[in-house]
Structure 1
Amino acid sequence: MVYNKYASPVVSVFVVVMIFSHAAAYDMLDPTGNITIKWDVMSWTPDGYVAVVTMTNFQMYRHIMSPGWTLGWTWAKKEVIWSMVGAQATEQGDCSKFKGNIPHCCKRNPTVVDLLPGVPYNQQIANCCKGGVVASWGQDPSAAVSSLQLSVGLAGTTNKTVRLPKNFTLLAPGRGYTCSQAKIVPPTAFYSSDGRRRTQAMMTWNVTCTYSQILASRNPTCCVSMSSFYNSTITPCKNCSCGCQNRNNCVQSGSEIRSVVGMNTPSNTPLLQCTQHMCPVRVHWHVKLNYKDYWRVKISITNFNYATNYAQWTLVVQHPNLNNVTEVFSFDYKPLIPYKSTNDTGMFYGLKFFNDVLMQAGADGNAQSELILQKDVNTFTFKQGWAFPRKVYFNGDECMMPLPEDYPYLPNSVHRIPISSSALGGFLLLLLLGFW
């Protein structure tokens, strides 16, 4: 065996890079979550085919919010899109070589977007026309699908002459997705409404897109603060938890927001209320009451981003006592246990038409819930910060947590430090007003 003195360092660097790239896209709370794009060739045309493209969000708690998804790819040959139903290309491109019948899009690397609700019926297809908004699978599987139909020309008219598109991209607000290369899979089967007739696509290929928070944002997008009934100290979000790059153009809480320049201009740039943490969203966890066999927690979510209404928001919490949730008020709740041996993680989300939207920063930018948990006599304690969550995710992004040494501590005797309800109420009022 020949020893190469350069092999070991090269291999080590390669292994580190591979581990980091996988870790960036791996979510331990949703390890198989992804967005799968399925491309079904339904019929052949004189110069190509008609296909139905279906995007399914298999992520348990990460959705695509307004203004919706943008899907792109690069054609393998000189294909064109003759027509589309349920979506549209953002640019037509140079179609000057065509006379008479002009294609919908002639770009080598087209990008397409979903149509808005309310378009004429002849422009619709099932699961289209929602403005690109796609729910998470755990929240609403029926709304976790988006579809479009396109007629492709100059593409080949058999399975042997069609070439798969390359370099798929999926863009979504605040989302960083990396897509695989297209892969031919067994043709999709379809059944008639009575289930008695089976047909199948002429050809099917899949693309899998996975999320990476590192690609989406170099800074966290939310933070967690804490308080408890047994300690008058409120643990705020750390200063600049989400970075302070917006500190010079943030909005004072008392400002008349309508006068802010650019307020009504659509933008992916946050328009944040001035706070010490400078996060678009803060989650506050308050240990509220202690009963003999149960304990009670209050959760508050506050929106500090004037530019965003958080429709279909989700909140994921990891805590060992979530295996004994007795009752949840004001929010919907679902355990996330498919891939874990212990039920210590759950998803909270807004009740439909009641609190499913966290409106712009201000009076409407707050949603609250309380939950009652039954004590496990073998593990329950208020010591050493046990009552506070291990991880918190808002809309699929992990929030910045306080340091463990900053958690509200349990005094040697709770009775030695009485806490008046008015004092604690004052602290919480300041918290809600954004002073922490």
Structure 2
Amino acid sequence: MELPHAALALIVAAAATLSVAVAYDPLDPNGNITIKWDVLSWTPDGYVATVTINNFQTYRQIMAPGWTVGWTWAKREVIWSMVGAQATEQGDCSKFKANLPHSCKRTPAVVDLLPGVPYNQQIANCCRGGVVSAYGQDPSGAVSSFQVSVGQAGTTNRTVKVPKNFTLLGPGPGYTCGPAKVVPSTVFLTADHRRKTQALMTWNVTCTYSQHLASKYPTCCVSFSSFYNDTIVPCAKCACGCEHKTCARSEPDSKRLMSASGKSSAHAVTAVRGHVNRQSAAPLLQCTTHMCPVRVHWHVKLNYHDYWRAKVTVTNFNYRTNYTGWTLVAQHPNLDNITEVFSFDYKPVVSYGSINDTALFYGMKFFNDQLMEAGPYGNVQSEVLMRKDASTFTFRQGWAFPRKIYFNGDECRMPPPDSYPYLPNSAPASLVSSASVVVAFLVLLMA
């Protein structure tokens, strides 16, 4: 049975809409990474371009071992040279007799250079090992650049063909890139701001992130507690998946496991910083019931007449990863009235006009901006003081706990709502329901 053309078109449109929706983040609806190519000059057989990676995501950074950008050449282009980055493979350059290109791969993969390279290999915003800050956390660090000299390409705007099939690892999967689009040429200001120059040609590539593409399971979980109830609500069992995960029961056990796999703890840190293969940075987790690399604990700590205080603790259970430049996002209706944050830096995240219920927290520079690997120092914590709004504030029905938590841009697994700590003088919903059933049963017996 054949589907009518109209129905088939509707199904295709719905599928396309669904694929876009998967990469949509309601707390950062306009977040993306834009890769911009600016052709600055022509060469005898091609052009020289500056490639700029702009991270316009409010709270998702690219951490070590950094980004990898790939594409497919439209013709038979080669890379003669690069500044500020390098192709991971040279490819087959056997047809060149004299000067060998930097890369002859039709599908090159490019990575940032490491800090400390010679100055003649650097350009502005390069050489940070591929680490790019979140725009909401550090706009000046949310950019990375390199220069590429392309040969066997066109030498005019009409003959240059833009690359296709762009890919971005940041540092792992999760990003989907659209096609390159030629846009109005970038205009540059000279150092004295008295003259404008213009790129000969510019094209943009927009990449969006989907947590579903990045990982089958969440990468963090949330637990709750409060001063008014002795119950500690833990992360859900296997919140981040328990399948095929190696775990260590103690720090000595973790060192033994890393040694057995041919990597000392020093090698593990090196792997995380991008000096060796990315696969070597696979997590080695502390054995827990939730098996998450990171846990965020929200504790309702104190209640004052006009204010209330919550304590937030982020714990690292990964023996192989230090989270440098970490970010934490919380959504709660009272975050629009923060009075003081004691040990974290804080910025409001206002994505929809006047709605201010989301906060971005991150570590203070040189104090706690690095969440150390699992162990005695593998946690950071702060307290948040909020002013009450008499019309909405309550401790009932779990109101004091956040609606969503994100760590490093990924949404964390929340506890089930019926498990939240409740006030001692109010029964949980499950008990109320049970009591209602008993009363109804007694009424039936007496009838």
The TM-score, its normalising length taken from structure 1, stands at 0.91
CA distance in 1, matches of 2:4, 2:423: 55
Aligned equivalents of 1:361, 1:42: Cα separation in 2: 47
Post-superposition CA distance 1:204-250 (Å, at most 9, x none): 00000000001100100000000000000000000000000144x21
Indicate which of 250, 255, 260 corresponds to 2:252: 255
Correspondences of 1:35-434 after superposition (within 5 Å): 35-247=33-245, 249-253=246-250, 255-260=252-257, 261-262=260-261, 263=263, 264-265=267-268, 266=271, 267-412=280-425
CA distance in 1, matches of 2:222, 2:154: 54
Structure 1 CA distance for aligned equivalents of residues 286 and 238 of structure 2: 13
1:354–1:172 distance in 2 versus 1, CA, 3 Å:
same
**What's the CA shift for 1:19?**
3.1
Deviation at 1:5, TM superposition (A): 6.1
Q: Structure 1: how far apart are the matches of 2:282 and 2:171?
A: 10
Query: How far off its partner does 1:194 sit?
Result: 1.4
TM (normalized to structure 2)?
A: 0.89
SS where residue 418 of structure 2 aligns? helix
Three-state SS of the structure 1 residue aligned to 2:347 is strand
* TM-superposed deviation, 1:6: 3.4
CA deviation after TM superposition for structure 1 residue 174, in Å: 3.9
Q: What secondary structure is seen at the aligned counterpart in 1 of 2:89?
A: coil
- Identity in percent: 69
Amino acid at match of 2:339: T
Which segments of 5 or more consecutive residues in structure 2 lack a partner in the other structure? 272-279, 428-447
What is the Cα deviation at residue 9 of structure 1?
5.0
Quick check: 2:32–2:209 contact (8 Å CA) kept in 1? yes
| C-alpha contact 1:175 1:213 (8 A) present in aligned 2 | no
Give RMSD over aligned pairs.
Answer: 1.5
Consecutive unaligned residues of structure 1, counting only runs of 5 or more, are: 415-436
Counterparts of 2:136 and 2:74, CA distance in 1: 35
Letter in 2 for 1:199: T
Change (3 A) 1:5 1:178: closer
Contact 1:82 1:103 in 2 (8 A): yes
Could you say which residue in structure 2 is the equivalent of 1:32? 30
Quote the offset at 1:12 in angstroms: 4.9
Residue pair 1:174, 1:217 contacting (<8 A) in 2 also = no
DSSP-derived class of the 1:255 partner: helix
Instruction: Report the AA paired with residue 232 of structure 2.
Output: I
Distance in 2 (CA, whole Å) between partners of 1:254 and 1:365 is 12
Runs of 4+ aligned residues of structure 1 deviating over 4 Å after TM superposition are none
Is 189-198 or 59-68 further displaced after alignment? 189-198
- How far residue 192 of structure 1 moved from its aligned partner, in angstroms, is 1.0
1:368 corresponds to which letter in structure 2? Q
- CA offsets, 1:85-117, max 9 Å, x none? 000000000001101111000010101100000
Contact 1:246 1:272 in 2 (8 A): no
Contact 1:80/1:105, CA 8 A, preserved across alignment: yes
Q: Deviations over 1:277-336 (max 9, x none)?
A: 000000000000000000000000000011111111000000000011000011000000
2:21 match: secondary structure: helix
Whether contact under 8 Å (2:251, 2:375) holds in the other structure is: no
- Greater shift, 211-220 or 259-268, is seen at 259-268
